Amino acid sequence: MRKMWLDHTRVGLSVYDSNRQGYLTETELENYINDLLPGLCQLDGLEKSFHSFCTAVRKFLFFLDGARTNRIRILDILASTFLDDLLELRDEELSKEMQEQNWFSAPSALRIYGHYLNLDRNHNGMLSKTELASTLTKPFLDRVFQTCLTYGGEMDYKTYLDLVLALENRSEPQVLAFLFKILDIKECGYLDAFTLSYFFRAIQEQMKARSDQPVPFNDVKDELFDMVRPKDPEKNHLARFN
């Protein structure tokens, strides 16, 4: 039955592959998911104007388009569990707890979009550094805006979704690569003590502002290097984190 389902789904996805090369572009995947929505009863309560498909598509792109080409192999879509999670929303008796744990569900999509709207204090549909400053440290936020796609120095909803996916799935290899690029301020392919100290100083300042006892940087650095065990004792390469 699983093989039959995979074959049927592969054919269904291939219908949207306009170039017949085994890939779906972002727009083609949006069209596929948008056509699935009427059959997902757990999304019946959402307004049609709400881009739940945008929320869904970002997860596929973030985790399956590692090269950031804005297209995904159909075989990779089938090999992931994302379609299973999406189609789970056909279950009329899906519990509230299961819905809240499902990225594609209405409660999850509305939660994330609600946070975005709350942060957007000037209501222009974009997020500035100032609007995000309450959630992230300044050095990290500066790097996010340097490395991620922005428009006139502001972040749109799609980029915000990428950031949310990264912060909510920190142990995944794709997330580690995403965060490593942000932290690699010298763009040298590794993190050294100077780089770690640069970001950690802001965390120490936050702890002081909350009247917490700051953790000494050397303790954190030594623990991190002990866990990663880099070949070069002064450099942490991305491969050592995976």
- When pLDDT is averaged across residues 189-214 and rounded to a whole number, the result is 87
Tokens matching residue 115? 């946070």
What's the rounded Cα separation, in Å, for the pair 136 and 142?
A: 10
Strands 23-25 and 71-73 come out as: antiparallel
Q: Are 143 and 191 in contact (CB under 8 A)?
A: no
Could you report the per-residue pLDDT of 111-120, keeping only the tens digit for each? Answer: 999 999 999 9
Could you report the per-residue pLDDT of 29-87, keeping only the tens digit for each? Answer: 999 998 888 888 888 766 665 655 678 899 999 999 988 899 999 999 999 999 999 98
Give helix 173-183 / helix 157-168 axis angle, nearest 10°. 110
Domains of the chain (ranges; CATH) run 2-119 (1.10.238), 184-240 (no CATH)
Q: What percent of the chain is modeled with pLDDT above 70?
A: 95
Statement: the pTM of the whole predicted model exceeds 0.75: yes
The pLDDT, as a whole number, for residue 241 is 64
Could you report the per-residue pLDDT of 164-188, keeping only the tens digit for each? Answer: 999 999 889 999 999 999 999 999 9
The pLDDT, as a whole number, for residue 209 is 81
